[in-house]
Amino acid sequence: MINRSDLVALDSRDPLAGRRDMFVLPEGVIYLDGNSLGPLPASVPARMEDALRRQWGRDLIRSWNVNGWIDLPARVGARIGRLVGAEDGSIISADSTSVNLYKLVCAALALNPGRSTILSDTGNFPTDLYVASGAAELMDKGVRLMVVPPEDVEASIDAETALVMLTHVDYRTGRLHDMASITARAHAAGALVLWDLAHSAGALPVDLAGCRVDLAVGCSYKYLNGGPGAPAWLYVAPRHQAAARSPLTGWLGHAAPFAFDLDFRPAEGVGRFICGTPNILSLVALDAALDAFDGVSMEQVRDKSIKLGDLFIALVDQRCGDLGFTLGAPRDGRSRGSQVSLRHPEGYAIMQALIAREVIGDFRAPDVLRFGFCPLYARYTDIWDLTEHLLQVMLTREWAQERFQRRAKVT
């Protein structure tokens, strides 16, 4: 039997406990949705204020040089690179994940011509599938998207596979793919791999270089806490950088943008995947947000993340065993990202009732209650309190209230 006092003791010994002060978290809120929108890092408002008043307000256009605005996509990319095991100079921060996927899918198909499929799985996030099928149609080279169940991916890679495009952590179940094994299998068959690390970067250790990954994208407003709509990032392995081409040949991906040549000449390196003018204010916020990762290792983050997830599963077993929930996530922490999902036919209403109690997770159709555990600010006692609220919502049938049945635009 686990008691709340055991968890108070765990919090007091937690080496990451101090990190919580680096975030602005409203009193009384238990925030378990950092996998969808990371909370506001405490350093961001002052850095934004400086970017607005001093840099934009006073330095004006000189800021591109004197405040280093032009280098922000690469500088922020390098900081993200440390979190995902990327080689120096292989990541830029730009655009949205969807747009970066489009750029890299097109680049991959051009790098590996003469094959007919992009292989993905049913656990992928819809935008990834939409972008890949859209890109394949537009390129009109007879390439089509093939979508198989996650457990069939490795066996489905064959001589026709141009690109294996997967999301590392399933957004609904949290199921984690074996990046090293799938990447090796793809390479053995002559295919390239593109990993979407939306739910991995900042949540668990990733070794892009060690796994010899070809291409990757990721999101910055989830575990990286960059703020709503924060610029995403993309990775191109150094060995592909000279040959990989972006379909969006904008002027800031040019080798010499300020020569204003009439012909496009791609920049050396991953910088050629920049298209237009970077979103500076958002990049400043993201840059400040990344301070929260300075001085922590991803192994430390992972260790606590698994403990938080295991604890939640144990507490649901212990206290909510007969309330109609089923576990919608792998039980083994090593096969799971930094989230745990429960499934329940009344999942939507139950989640709304929890949110009304300021216990914030989210819901994914058709029946998934999703709880993200971000080790930089989640406490062990939060997991106890979450379970307590869940128990109350169920025992009192609070979820059955009319107000919790109405669907909002964003779930």
Ligand X SMILES: *Cc1c(COP(=O)(O)O)cnc(C)c1O
Residues recognised as catalytic: 125, 196, 221-222, 370
| Residues 223 to 262 in contact with ligand X, rule: CB under 6 A | 232
Q: How far is the CB of 401 from ligand X (least distance, A)?
A: 30
Q: Which two tokens stand for residue 337?
A: 């990202």
Amino acid identity of residue 403, one-letter, is R
The stretch among 67-75, 173-181, 191-199, 291-299 that binds ligand X (CB under 6 A) is: 191-199
121 binds ligand X (CB under 6 A): no
# residues contacting ligand X (CB under 6 A): 13
The stretch among 24-32, 123-131, 138-146, 156-164 that binds ligand X (CB under 6 A) is: 123-131
Which residue from 67, 90, 96, 120 is in contact with ligand X, where contact means CB under 6 A? Answer: 96
> Which runs of E-coded beta strand occur in 89-204?
91-93, 117-121, 144-148, 161-167, 192-196
Q: How far is the CB of 364 from ligand X (least distance, A)?
A: 11
Which of these, 138, 153, 147, 140, lies nearest to 103 by C-alpha position? 138
173 binds ligand X (CB under 6 A): no
Alpha helices by DSSP H, listed for 274-323, are: 280-289, 298-319
Angstrom distance (rounded) from CA 294 to CA 301: 12
Angstrom distance (rounded) from CA 132 to CA 146: 10
Which residue from 55, 117, 161, 167 is in contact with ligand X, where contact means CB under 6 A? Answer: 167
Q: Which is nearer to ligand X, 232 or 286 (CB)?
A: 232
| CB 237, CB 269: distance < 8 Å | no
Which residue from 7, 22, 219, 368 is in contact with ligand X, where contact means CB under 6 A? Answer: 219
| CB 344, CB 328: distance < 8 Å | no
Q: Which is nearer to ligand X, 219 or 350 (CB)?
A: 219
Query: Residue 339 — left, alpha, or beta (φ > 0 → left; ψ -120 to 50 → alpha)?
Result: beta
Q: How far is the CB of 199 from ligand X (least distance, A)?
A: 6
Q: Which two tokens stand for residue 20?
A: 């919580």
SS3 at position 146: strand
The stretch among 95-103, 240-248, 276-284, 326-334 that binds ligand X (CB under 6 A) is: 95-103
Amino acid identity of residue 36, one-letter, is S
Q: Which is nearer to ligand X, 231 or 333 (CB)?
A: 231
The stretch among 3-11, 24-32, 91-99, 344-352 that binds ligand X (CB under 6 A) is: 91-99
Show the CA angle centred on residue 304, arms to residues 302 and 310, nearest 5°: 100
Residues β-bridged to residue 81: none
Which residue from 127, 300, 335, 381 is in contact with ligand X, where contact means CB under 6 A? Answer: 127
Q: How far is the CB of 369 from ligand X (least distance, A)?
A: 17
Q: Which is nearer to ligand X, 196 or 367 (CB)?
A: 196
Angstrom distance (rounded) from CA 123 to CA 94: 25
Which residue from 98, 112, 156, 300 is in contact with ligand X, where contact means CB under 6 A? Answer: 98
Residues β-bridged to residue 336: 175
199 binds ligand X (CB under 6 A): yes
Burial readout 398-409 (b: 16 or more C-beta within 10 A, e: otherwise): bbeeeebeeeee
125 binds ligand X (CB under 6 A): yes
| Binding region for ligand X (CB under 6 A) | 96-98, 125, 127-128, 167, 171, 196, 198-199, 219, 232
